[in-house]
Amino acid sequence: MRIISIANLKGGSAKSTTTFNLAGVLREAGYQVLCIDIDPQKTLGEAYFGVYAGEKTFSDALISDNMIGELVQSSKFDGLLVIPADDGLKAIKSGQTQIEGGELRLRSCLTRVKTNIDQTNGINKMDWVLIDCPPSLDKLTMNALVASDYVLVPVDPGAGGRGALGDTIQYVSSAQKWYNPTLKLLGLLIGNTDPRTVYDQTVVEVVREIYGNLVFKSIIKASVRVRESAESQIPLVFCKRTEFSRYADMYRSLKDEIVERTA
């Protein structure tokens, strides 16, 4: 089981979209995938997968340090499971709910999964766990980083996105220093670009010059097809129409790089 957080301080950097489509290509490749939505905005679970929190919620499990296998819900796609976010995460995020050892709660939950203590709904059989983080560097994001083996950072190459990138990497370093020394920065994924423009070509070159091999070779181009896929709650690789295929291939390429880097 490999656990990846998808994190960036900046809102609108395509964290949920990346998680959604990465889950799709991993499932297409035959892997069992669990997506965890730890963002109180609930975009990944509700808007993208159409999955809603039940009577037992993710926030309750974090507060009580309970099993999370019972929170798992099926998506429309066999072998692709979801733990949806819920409103109770807002109180954890804001600090209104005080939890002793709060930054360690998700790691505690996932450790039970990794060690087969928690086997409910087959959660222990997942090959990949993808955690969609909020657009802020807070207790929820730190929970995800502490619980993860890797962190993937989607990058909006515009000026605001590049500015937030430095803060995000610094936050990852803090997680490594104080809580999770084995956490690895898996890579930076440049997205939402139009390679036909000189501006986008230039900023991509700047990001690669600064961060070198940390930047994935794969680039996610801006397209209405990506938005349409999310709106229809179907990852690009499962969209049947041919106009979606070249955008699905971008995520297939990303998947290949991730599998290679985590081998």
pLDDT category at 179 given cuts 50, 70, 90 is very high
CATH of 2-184, one of 3.40.50.300, 2.60.40.10, 3.40.50.2000, 3.20.20.220: 3.40.50.300
With CA atoms as reference, report the closest residue to 68 among 142, 26, 129. 129
Instruction: Supply the DSSP symbol for 48.
Output: I
SS3 of residue 173 by DSSP: helix
List the domain boundaries for the chain: 2-184
Q: What is the pLDDT of residues 232-263, one digit of tens each?
A: 999 999 998 888 999 999 999 999 999 999 98
Structure tokens at 150: 């890797």
Is the Cβ–Cβ distance between 13 and 138 less than 8 Å? no
Q: What is the pLDDT of residues 136-147, one digit of tens each?
A: 888 999 999 999
**Cβ within 8 Å of residue 108, ≥6 positions away:** 65
Is the Cβ–Cβ distance between 83 and 71 less than 8 Å? yes
* pLDDT at site 134: 94
DSSP 87-148: TTHHHHHHT-S--TTGGGHHHHHHHHHHTTS--GGGGGG-SEEEEE--SS-SHHHHHHHHH-
Is the Cβ–Cβ distance between 81 and 35 less than 8 Å? yes
With CA atoms as reference, report the closest residue to 18 among 166, 220, 249. 220
Determine the average pLDDT of the residues in 150-163. Answer: 80
Distance CA 234, CA 52 (A): 16
With CA atoms as reference, report the closest residue to 61 among 108, 20, 114, 14. 108
Distance CA 138, CA 7 (A): 11
Considering the entire predicted model, what is its pTM? 0.95
Q: What is the pLDDT of residues 40-97, one digit of tens each?
A: 999 999 999 999 998 999 999 999 989 999 999 999 999 999 999 999 999 888 766 6
H helices, E strands: number in the chain: 9, 8
